[in-house]
Structure 1
């Protein structure tokens, strides 16, 4: 297997991590995204089918959409959307993290969900005054 083919499989997997049941991708869309986002030209639709089968045989939960023309989607992500929302809410209320740290945590959590999930949660973590410490502020230790 050539290096470019290995990279293509990894990129296809990364694209599937942005999908869910409501936003599947078909072979043509995957091929277009590979070209637009990663500069991979002339990716044949039939090679995408082979990549999907390979990923499925490796245990990735990639499922066919109900309408097969719509393509496939990643059935399960590392965290469910409600779990990500719970963690985002917790970070937003935390007094022990800076605005910068809160935004870093937010970005990491958003990378664990689909594109649809990202758009639903992207407005979150708008630090409220007094909820997170400002830049340069430190957490005060209580005297015992």
Structure 2
């Protein structure tokens, strides 16, 4: 397996991490995303079918959409959307983190959900006066 093929499989897996049952991706869409986001040109549909089968055989929960022409999606993510929302709410109410730290945590949490989940939660973590410390104000001591 060549290095570029190994990279392609990893990139396909990363793309599946942005999908869910309502926003699947088909082989053409995956091929286009690989070219647009990672500069991988001339990725054939048939090789994507092989990559999907390989990922499924390795235990990744990639499922066929009900309408097979719509493609596939990742069935389970590391955290459910309600768990991410709970953590985002907690960060928003925390008085012990700065605005910058709150935004960093928010971005990390949003990377654990699908693209649809990200768009639903993207409005969250708007600093509320008195709830989040300003830039440079933190309770934790930083290592120098």
Normalised-by-shorter TM-score class: over 0.9
Q: What is the rounded CA distance, in whole Å, between the counterparts of 2:142 and 2:58 in structure 1? A: 51
Report SS of the residue matched to 1:63.
strand
Report how far residue 136 of structure 1 moved: 2.0
Q: How many residues align?
A: 144
Q: Check whether the contact 2:18–2:113 (CA below 8 A) recurs between aligned residues.
A: yes
CA gap of 1:140–1:40, structure 2 versus 1, over 3 A, is: closer
Task: Give a deviation string over 1:62-89, Cα, whole Å, max 9, x none.
Answer: 0000000000000000000000000000
Task: Give a deviation string over 1:98-117, Cα, whole Å, max 9, x none.
Answer: 00000000000000000000
Task: Give a deviation string over 1:27-79, Cα, whole Å, max 9, x none.
Answer: 00000000010000000000000000000000000000000000000000000
Q: What is the CA RMSD across the aligned residues, in angstroms?
A: 3.3
Q: Check whether the contact 2:99–2:127 (CA below 8 A) recurs between aligned residues.
A: yes
Task: Give a deviation string over 1:88-143, Cα, whole Å, max 9, x none.
Answer: 00000000000000000000000000000000000000010100111122339999
CA gap of 1:32–1:142, structure 2 versus 1, over 3 A, is: closer
Q: Check whether the contact 2:97–2:132 (CA below 8 A) recurs between aligned residues.
A: yes
Q: Check whether the contact 2:91–2:125 (CA below 8 A) recurs between aligned residues.
A: yes
| Corresponding residue for residue 48 of structure 1 | 48
- Deviating above 2 A after TM superposition, structure 1's stretches of 4 or more consecutive aligned residues are 138-144
Report SS of the residue matched to 2:79.
coil
CA gap of 1:54–1:143, structure 2 versus 1, over 3 A, is: closer
Report how far residue 17 of structure 1 moved: 0.2
CA gap of 1:140–1:8, structure 2 versus 1, over 3 A, is: closer
Q: What is the rounded CA distance, in whole Å, between the counterparts of 2:66 and 2:36 in structure 1? A: 27
CA gap of 1:139–1:60, structure 2 versus 1, over 3 A, is: same
